């Protein structure tokens, strides 16, 4: 049996008025941001679900329910640290992460490297093992109308 496992995570949030938009653990100046029970960081939520899926563990919503007061406004870095610790306890290590963010705004290009570095730090990875791409909705659907943001992540995890 292969020592490598792949997981997929997807997170979608409505966008609403905001002074900053937190994505990938980085605050991005924006007039819109994700609406969520925690900080709404769709990038980190998708990454956590991808890692948990690769490990065959419960999903993010099961571990950190959105009806639990302790998770209200919570920084998603906490979720990543917990997921990373759970994988390590199971004898697994994240090898690489690839993320696509779909949104009309905010634009990620100017923040891409900082986000990659932050994610790499959270999962103890070299920066070149973390990729982040931004896409628009080309005017189609809730993403194209600027009403939502979606992040899709793939995680490669291996036995230690």
- pLDDT(62) > 90: yes
Interatomic CA distance for residues 56 and 138, integer angstroms: 35
pLDDT, tens digit, 9 for 90 and up, residues 82-104: 999 999 999 999 999 999 999 99
- Residue 40 has what pLDDT? 94
Domain map (residue ranges) of the chain:
4-159
Beta 32-34 vs 4-17: how paired, if at all? antiparallel
The CATH code belonging to domain 4-159 is: 3.30.1330.50
Q: Taking the CB of residue 132, how many other CB atoms lie within 10 A of it? A: 21
Cis peptide before 106 (omega within 30 of 0): yes
Average pLDDT taken over every residue of the chain: 95
Model confidence pLDDT, tens digit, residues 110-160: 999 999 999 999 999 999 999 999 999 999 999 999 999 999 999 999 998
């Amino acid at each position: 049996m292969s020592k490598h496992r792949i997981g997929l995570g997807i997170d979608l949030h409505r966008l609403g008025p905001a002074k900053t938009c937190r994505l990938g653990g980085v605050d991005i100046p924006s007039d819109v941001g994700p609406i969520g029970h925690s900080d709404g960081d769709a990038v980190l939520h998708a990454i956590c679900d991808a890692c948990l899926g690769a490990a065959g563990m419960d999903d993010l919503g099961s571990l950190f329910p959105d009806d639990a007061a302790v998770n209200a406004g919570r920084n998603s870095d906490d979720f990543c640290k917990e997921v990373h610790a759970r994988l390590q306890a199971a004898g697994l290590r994240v090898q690489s992460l690839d993320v696509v963010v779909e949104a009309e705004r905010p634009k990620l290009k100017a923040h891409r490297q900082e986000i990659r570095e932050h994610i790499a730090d959270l999962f103890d990875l070299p920066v070149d093992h973390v990729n982040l791409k931004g896409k628009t909705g080309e005017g189609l659907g809730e993403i194209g109308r600027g009403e939502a943001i979606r992040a899709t992540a793939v995680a490669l995890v291996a036995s230690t």
